[in-house]
Structure formats: structure tokens, C-alpha cells
Amino acid sequence: MRAHGFLPLIALMLALQGCGETVERRAISVDQQKLVDRMRAAGATDIDANGRADGGMSVAGKLGGRLFGIAVPARWNRQAVLFANGYSIPGTPVSVPADPVAKEPSGGYLTAAYKDGFAVGQSAFDKPAMAVKSGVANTLRLREWFRRLGTERFYLGGASMGGNIVMALIEKHPDAFAGAMAACGVTGDWETEIGALVDLRASYDYFTRGTDYALPGDKALDANGLSPVPPTGLGFARPLWLMWQIRRMSAPIGALFKEARRNPGGAEARMVARIASVAGADADPGSFMFAIMTAMVGMDDMRASFGGVVYGNRKKIYHSDLLTEAENAALNRDIGRTDADPKAIAFADQWYRSTGRFRTPLITVHSAHDGLVFAQQGRLLAARVKQQGNDGRLIQLWAPSQQKDIPGAGLKGWAHCGFTPQEGPQLWQALHQWVETGQRPDKGT
């Protein structure tokens, strides 16, 4: 999902570091052991329970063959908060933290709930990359298992692709959760989100064609540019292969932006401006890298996951005020094209295109400048909620956009899910208060 130095690479490095990580072992109490026994009776297998320094415990295991990780506080209030994680690079391991408080996946949302006495956790999906349908099913399985343990109320959270899972859950299962939160999520639909990635990749390919800044690999918009998975026989080198492929993709983009910033009046700066103008994107290295890299390594998986191509630009007329009439005509004649598959669009609508019809109190947070899930996703949800007359069940917040260093690139770019450490706990507190009191918090909360 990211170029060199971005989240996929960081996640990969953390995964590699975790391979040899040792977790301090602590005994659990007699009462905790009884709860573990109930967990096993409720259907969990491969259970590994470990005491926490605060008196709670973490429990890793499997449900229906899928990994899960939870943390249960010492004074559990018989309520739970479940979390749906985001997209991962195709071919990477499917996993979740064994202790979602020690290795917080939600930016502080789960930890804040845990401190308030809630059990917290998440389930792994069936596959890496695009996994909305299984994310919904596996989160519901974890919820049902918690219910068998006597859990009385459930909250939900999700980020990025997980935000789309949140929308599917609260709209398809209106009684399952008392409150929900989606951060930097695909709260609109996949056709729009993938379309933004494809348009940017197509625009970049067009304007960099024949230059030193052209991307490597296959130029077909409905296929991977480069494979994230090594050739047969090189599976042992998968992490290094992926890092190499990410560098290959990110290097020309980084070089283009460095030269554009070195010479703001030069050809490279004009190239960046034109690419962004045609695609309707931020002229920003993070926005270019996040989107283009996702399309470059994720398109094969998206096609397989949706059963075809979700977004087509065959009839789209591209235009930029930065181009002459003749240049716009040449752009539309020569830019890369692809066709959508109606069956794939139908599947993507099912998993998932939001409708704005939900009963669960929902807080969403977006940034005006996000390197991957663009602001239009928040605006789409707001428009659909308004159309349904459902404004009273949605609080939509806009957090300040964050510029982050791109490690090893010497550039800063708009972050994806670039929230501050304070914002996750604030989201939890606002949602919890809303559900408990029935009073919708002030939007500025």
C-alpha cells in the first residue's frame, strides 16, 4: 500500500522484528483460568493466555481456524470493543496482535476502552489485502464467541479498509453493536477509491512516459505493475523481494519530486502539477506513492477478490486547465484505459458500498489530505447519510492533516491515518459517552 518507507514496508519490518520477539510470561489467576476454560468451551482453540502487568490478561487463539487476539482487564465490565484492521500487501502473513493493548493497532482507541474496563480484540481475516467480506464474517464470529462468554454490549472500531468493514457491519447487522468508529476509512465505496488509485497511476504513466521517472513493470491498469510475491522457489526471500520491489516503484516518484522541488519552475514541477491536476490528486509525494504503489502491487488481488475489474475509465474524459485543448485531446487519446466488469462492481457494492442507513451511533474521522483514503470517502458518506435523513446518528470529524517523513527518501508527504496519539482515546471517550447517555456529543468533542 505504500512506497519505500511507508506503512507496508514499516509493517513488514515490524513483522520481521516480531519473529524473534520474546513476550514476558506472567501467570494468570484462578479466576482468569476459569474464564480461559470457558473460552475453550465456547469454541476457541490453540489458546495462549498470558498475564498482564496491570492484572489483566491477553489471550491469543483461533476461532474457525482464524487467529484472534484479545485483552481482558482485571475488572472486566462484561462489555467488549472489537476492531477491524486495514489493508495489507498481498502475499504478506495474515496476523493480529496477540495482545492488542501491548501492540495497539487502533491508535489508542482500544487501549482507552481497555482502561475503562472493556475487553478488546480483533480477528484475523481469511487473506491479506482486500478482505472486507471475511473481515465482516470473522468479526461477527468473534462477537458471537464473546457473547457466549456473557458479554452484554459491543462496540466497534476500524481503520482504513477496516472502516469499510465497520460500515458493512452496522448497516447489514444493525443490532450487533451499540456504537461504532471508523478512522480514515473507505466509508463510501470501492469503485470510487480504486478509481482514484487507477486515475493517478494512469496519469503518472502518461506524463512520465519515456522519462527517467517512468515506473517499472507492466503498464496495464488492470494488473500489477510488479509482483509483491517472489518467483517460485524464492519464497524464503519474500520480505527482501518485497522491499526491493517497493524501492523499484518508489525511486522514480521520489526522484521526480526531489527535482521538482529543487527547480520549482522546471519541467519536473510542471509534470507533477499536470499529473495531480488530471487525477484530481494532491501534488504530494505521499499521495502519489501511497496510491500508485497500492495499484502497482494490489491490482491482481483486487481483481481476484472482486471477481473482475471494479473501475473502468474507457469512456472517461480527462481534463486539466494546465493543458491546452490539443494537449487534452492527446491525453484522452493516449492515456491508459481499462474496462470495468459489472459483476465485480456488484460484488464491490455488496462488500461494501455504504447506504447511509444505519441505527448505530457512528463517529468517523478523516483528514482533508490523506495519502491513500482520500477525503471524498468522508464526503460520500456524509451525502448519503443526509439523503437518508440520518444525520443524528453520525458525527463526522475532520482531523488536521499530517505531513510525515518518508524514511530513506528525504521527503515529507501526507500520511494515511496520520492522527495524533490523543485522537484515538478522544474518539473512544466521545463514542462511549454518546452511547451511555444517549446524548449526541457536540461535534467539536
pLDDT tens, position by position, 425-441? 999 999 999 999 999 99
Do residues 46 and 170 share a domain?
Answer: yes
- In this structure, is the dihedral angle defined by the CA atoms of residues 301, 306, 309 and 310, taken in order, positive or negative? negative
Q: Full-prediction pTM beyond 0.85?
A: yes
Q: Is residue 260 part of a domain?
A: yes
Do residues 167 and 222 share a domain?
Answer: no
Confidence of residue 407 (pLDDT cuts 50, 70, 90): confident
Q: Which of 141, 5, 16, 148 is nearest to 84 (CA)?
A: 141
Q: What's the confidence (pLDDT) of residue 119?
A: 98
Per residue in 332-369, pLDDT (tens digit) is 999 999 999 999 999 999 999 999 999 999 999 999 99
Q: Which residues does 32 contact at the CB level (< 8 Å), separation at least 6?
A: 49, 51, 57, 72
Do residues 183 and 194 share a domain?
Answer: no
Domain of residue 79: give its range: 7-188+355-437
Confidence of residue 443 (pLDDT cuts 50, 70, 90): low
Asked if residue 4 has pLDDT above 60, the reply is no
Do residues 114 and 222 share a domain?
Answer: no
Do residues 183 and 203 share a domain?
Answer: no
Q: What's the confidence (pLDDT) of residue 111?
A: 98
Report the domain count for the chain. Answer: 2
- Phi, psi (rounded to 5 degrees) for 56: -85, -165
Q: What's the confidence (pLDDT) of residue 442?
A: 81
Per residue in 225-281, pLDDT (tens digit) is 999 999 999 888 999 999 999 999 999 999 999 999 999 999 999 999 999 999 999
Do residues 415 and 427 share a domain?
Answer: yes
Residue 177 maps to which CATH number?
3.40.50.1820
- Distance (Å, whole) CA 402 – CA 173: 34
Do residues 341 and 407 share a domain?
Answer: no
Per residue in 163-219, pLDDT (tens digit) is 999 999 999 999 999 999 999 999 999 999 999 999 999 999 999 999 999 999 999
Question: Which of 324, 347, 370 finishes a domain?
Answer: 347
Q: Is residue 444 part of a domain?
A: no
Burial 13-49 (b: 16+ CB within 10 A, else e): eeeeeeeeeeeeeeebeeebeebbeebeeeebeeeeb
Confidence of residue 371 (pLDDT cuts 50, 70, 90): very high
Question: Which of 347, 371, 387 finishes a domain?
Answer: 347
Q: What's the confidence (pLDDT) of residue 22?
A: 63
Q: What's the confidence (pLDDT) of residue 444?
A: 52
Do residues 267 and 362 share a domain?
Answer: no
Q: Which of 95, 365, 48, 103 is nearest to 111 (CA)?
A: 103
Q: What's the confidence (pLDDT) of residue 18?
A: 40
Question: Which of 290, 312, 347 finishes a domain?
Answer: 347
Asked if residue 98 has pLDDT above 90, the reply is yes
More confident residue, 13 or 172: 172
Q: What's the confidence (pLDDT) of residue 406?
A: 84
Q: What is the rounded average pLDDT of the residues 360-383?
A: 97
Q: What is the rounded average pLDDT of the residues 53-59?
A: 98
Do residues 162 and 274 share a domain?
Answer: no
Q: Is residue 49 part of a domain?
A: yes
